[in-house]
Amino acid sequence: MNENLFASFIAPTILGLPAAVLIILFPPLLIPTSKYLVNNRLITTQQWLIKLTSKQMMAMHNTKGRTWSLMLVSLIIFIATTNLLGLLPHSFTPTTQLSMNLAMAIPLWAGAVIMGFRSKIKNALAHFLPQGTPTPLIPMLVIIETISLLIQPMALAVRLTANITAGHLLMHLIGSATLAMSTINLPSTLIIFTILILLTILEIAVALIQAYVFTLLVSLYLHDNT
């Protein structure tokens, strides 16, 4: 019980060198590929899910926005696999690091905003000042809209970090409680262990949902600027 609660969130090292890069590169290796003309059931199911997700996210985009489809599909697959692998015991989850999530959110958000200013500068500037705004409120609203625009990547990164970190902490606490109660009261241990199993199922769903939410919000920012 004296274990540091946040020890699992410390970036691991190998011989004093950070291993986070290797961990980030590992999930793509788990995506199965096929060299045959007829795919097996796993490949077929994977392609069906990718097609369904891509179709749902790209339905609202025009031709220019659909050029981002490969990047958005790759993003949701990467985040989902990283989150799921982080649920394994004694594993490290890169998406619990705010720095990494910011490194994903800022370039994607900046690319969407820059595209909006390049292609539709009037519409992009119109977002800073809603139509029919009273003249005395114009400076304040411009400042508020500018701040709301600038905090979008921070909101993306913090949302993903907070949800994944909270789930891992809760699983760690309930797992520690289960281990501590195993030598004291067996019926209570079974109840807590059942709660832990249900929480694990919930965290699997959260891992997938957060990957979808992160990618969907990037898609919405892209839609607003194309």
| pLDDT at residue 4, rounded to an integer | 64
Q: Give the distance between the most distant pair of CA atoms in the chain.
A: 70
Residue pLDDT, tens place only, 3-31? 566 666 676 677 666 676 777 777 777 77
- The sign of the dihedral angle between the CA atoms of 162, 164, 170, 176 is negative
Identify the band that residue 169 occupies on the pLDDT scale cut at 50, 70 and 90: confident
| pLDDT at residue 205, rounded to an integer | 92
Q: For the chain, how many residues are written?
A: 226
User: What amino acid is encoded at 17 in this protein?
Assistant: L
- Stretch 67-90: mean pLDDT, rounded? 85
What are 157's two structure tokens?
């990164």
The rounded distance, in Å, linking the Cα atoms of 177 and 53 is 38
Percent of the chain with pLDDT strictly greater than 90 = 7
Residue pLDDT, tens place only, 58-70? 777 787 778 888 8
* pLDDT above 50 (res 202): yes
* pLDDT above 70 (res 116): yes
Q: Which residues pair with 13 in a beta bridge?
A: 18
The rounded distance, in Å, linking the Cα atoms of 4 and 25 is 27
Distance from chain centroid for Cα 14:
26
H runs (alpha helix) in the chain:
20-25, 41-58, 69-85, 98-119, 121-126, 138-150, 152-181, 186-224
The burial class, CB within 10 Å (0-12 / 13-18 / 19+), for 4 is exposed
Rg (CA), the chain: 22
* pLDDT above 80 (res 143): yes
| pLDDT at residue 1, rounded to an integer | 46
**Are 93 and 23 in contact, with CB atoms under 8 Å apart?**
no
User: What amino acid is encoded at 76 in this protein?
Assistant: I
Where do the structural domains in the chain lie, given as residue ranges? 7-225
User: What amino acid is encoded at 58 in this protein?
Assistant: M
The rounded distance, in Å, linking the Cα atoms of 147 and 149 is 5
The rounded distance, in Å, linking the Cα atoms of 175 and 196 is 7
Which comes out higher in pLDDT, residue 9 or 100? 100
Query: What DSSP designation does 92 have?
Result: -
